[in-house]
Amino acid sequence: MTGTIIKALSGFYYVDVGAEQEPITCRGRGKLRHQKITPLVGDHVAITVTEDGTGMVDEVLPRSNQFQRPMVANMDQLVILASGAIPVTDPFLIDRMVSLAEYKGCQPIICFNKCDLEPATQLVELYQKAGFQSFAISAQTGEGLEQLLGVLDGKISAFTGNSGVGKSSVLNALCPQFGLKVGQVSEKLGRGRHTTRHVELFRVGGGLVADTPGFSAFDVEQMELIPKEELANTFREFQPYLEQCRFVGCAHVKERGCAVREAVDNGAIAPSRYQSYVRLYDQVKSRPQWEK
């Protein structure tokens, strides 16, 4: 049978095999170690269940993606929580996360929390127009949470966002048990070095959600690993224009006859998104090749 690793601890893998069943506690087969395969949280695995109800991980199925910090695999979606109210999220942070998610083949979803304080209508529209699922939510009033639950259904999702944006509040509002479990986890692992590395998937409605203690920004360090030639491909609303630039290999920064810049000028691409692109391009460009 197959399942998804929701927790890995001290050589045990806890494998989710559906909402109706308790996770199965598994050991990894020796052959995985010999093949130097380390099963990760998020891995889809083939397991054999023995008579005592425990199991063995026989095989790790091919991964759709993998992140280093936290160490997880197969994230279908990255829910980027932002806020138009204090602490206001810098759009550049949103765009960095969007870019990284796109690069990793993980669907970015942009949610503006605290809509009871600030509806962020313009930003919601900006990201919708750029081709993303984006909507306003409030952990306080519950607005938009049904829609978010729908988005999580049947998928593995990770949440990210600047501190204070309401990640814990939103997750608790989505699933009261989530808070309970988070509390239990931090009680057990609150002290010591495990805390920073521990990641676990929780069932939220019909989906699985990754929780990392402290909910640090998701892997932003890896941003610099995107090759400069591929950066424009991580901006989905640029795609229709990329082939139309006058020069092959156009970086879309200063070049004459750049169709992307033209699209910014005539309002088809949001200036803030384009500015984020230029800023990111500067960062990845100045990174020496040997560091990649």
CB of 173 to ligand GDP, least distance (A): 8
Q: Are strands 72-73 and 133-136 parallel, antiparallel or unpaired?
A: unpaired
Residue closest to 148 by CA, chosen among 179, 177, 171, 122: 171
Question: Which is closer to Zn ion, CB of 30 or CB of 249?
Answer: 249
Angle in degrees, CA 38, 284, 227, rounded to 5: 55
**Residue 152 engages ligand GDP in binding (rule: CB under 6 A):** no
User: Which span (22-30, 53-61, 159-167, 220-228) binds ligand GDP, by CB under 6 A?
Assistant: 159-167
Residue 163 binds to ligand GDP (criterion: CB under 6 A): yes
- Among residues 139, 148, 258, 280, the one that binds ligand GDP under rule CB under 6 A: 139
Residue 59 binds ligand GDP (CB under 6 A): no
| C-alpha count within 13 angstroms, C-beta hemisphere, residue 179 | 11
- How far apart (Å, rounded) are the C-alpha atoms in residues 263 and 268? 5
CB under 5 to 8 A by kind: which of ligand GDP, Zn ion, none does 250 bind?
Answer: Zn ion
Query: Which range of residues in 33-41, 67-75, 108-116, 193-201 is near ligand GDP by CB under 6 A?
Result: 108-116
* Site map 168..197 versus ligand GDP, x via CB under 6 A: xx----------------------------
The answer to whether residues 169 and 124 touch, using CB atoms and an 8 Å cutoff, is: no
Q: Which residue number is nearest to ligand GDP in terms of Cβ? A: 166
260 binds, among Zn ion, ligand GDP, none (CB under 5 to 8 A by kind): Zn ion
Judged by CB under 6 A, does residue 113 bind ligand GDP?
A: yes
In contact, 166 and 174? CB cutoff 8 Å: no
Instruction: Please report, as ranges, the residues that interact with Zn ion according to CB under 5 A.
Output: 245, 250, 252, 258, 260
Residues belonging to the chain? 292
DSSP result, 198-262: --EEEEETTEEEEE-GGG--SSGGGGGGS-HHHHGGG-GGGHHHHTTSSSTT--SSS-TT-HHHH
Element holding 126 (H helix, E strand):
helix 121-129
Distance in Å, CB of 65 to ligand GDP, minimum: 24
Residue from 18, 105, 131, 164 in contact with ligand GDP (CB under 6 A)? 164
By CB under 6 A, what part of segment 73-102 binds ligand GDP?
none
